[in-house]
Amino acid sequence: MSDGVQDLRTDVAHGARIYDYILGGKDNYAVDRAAAEASQQVWPALPVHMRANREFMHRAGRFLATECGVEQFLDIGTGIPTRPNLHEVVHEVTPEASVVYTDNDPIVLAHARALMSRSGQGSTAYVDADLRDPDTILDSREFRDTLDPSRPIGLMLIAVVHFIEEDDEALDVVRRIVDVLPSGSYVAATIATDDYAPELLAEVRRAYREHGETLKFRTYATAQRFFSGLDLVDPGVVQMHKWRPDDPASLEVPEADIAMYAGIARKP
């Protein structure tokens, strides 16, 4: 990196660092904390929502490794590592599983490199790239050397597509990645929505924008389009806490406290 301060983008909020702060982490800056606090003031359920997102990622990883036999994963928008991370979840099932992480924040990059060096199982790698430029991910040495394109890959898009504001662009970049995955691959995604609390979440979106970060909410119909051409796994696209919960008590969370749809689908 040429200039640490400039590259760290401490003048604008970043989704990964906001997420880190809400979950109790320390790898964030004043602008990230300000965005998080402003969002929580208008929507106090934000920590509940973010924990539900993390829990879905864990369930999705275990499901793909255990029930679908997936042994390699591409996690785009991984965020600042919060244990257990995806590779730790899937290595409990398949110790030889391979995982490629990607994100576009220098703090995530620094943590990921340290994390990869401590990983004693399977193959893990990190690509410093933006979802908006999928070719950078797919053409990277880390992707080519770590994942076998002839075998199914689990594509994880957890809380990331809402950072692309235009629907057509978001759908296109996801489709470009899915198109290169082999048959039998899976896509697991969480997609931000304001269907259940539109007025409160309009204020959350405003708080994000005021601190320099994009946040795009999508309807149920648009969320379904991210899985177009794929075979959805039961129960389909639902609020993320309703996707095969480990604890039935999680279903007692008010719908207005969860602002993401989730789904897992198989590529024919």
Average pLDDT of adjacent 10-residue blocks, the chain of 268 residues = 46 76 78 83 88 95 98 89 82 93 79 59 85 96 95 97 96 97 98 96 90 91 98 98 93 96 98
How far the first Cα of the chain sits from its last, in Å, is: 41
Outline where the chain has alpha helix (H).
4-8, 15-22, 30-42, 46-66, 86-91, 106-118, 134-138, 141-146, 167-180, 198-210, 220-225
Q: Helix (H, G, I), strand (E, B), or coil: what is residue 90?
A: helix
Residue type at position 67: E
What pTM was estimated for this model as a whole? 0.88
**Do 99 and 123 contact (CB within 8 A), yes or no?**
yes
Q: How many CB atoms lie within 10 A of CB 12?
A: 12
* Distance from C-alpha of 91 to C-alpha of 202, rounded to nearest angstrom: 39
Cis peptide before 84 (omega within 30 of 0): yes
Range of the structural domain that residue 178 is part of: 4-266
Give the DSSP H or E segment for 125: strand 123-128
pLDDT of residue 246: 94
Question: Which residues, 6 or more positions from 134, have their beta carbon under 8 angstroms from its beta carbon?
Answer: 173, 176, 177
What CATH number corresponds to the domain at position 62?
A: 3.40.50.150
pLDDT of residue 117: 52
* Distance from C-alpha of 248 to C-alpha of 193, rounded to nearest angstrom: 23
Count: domains in the chain: 1
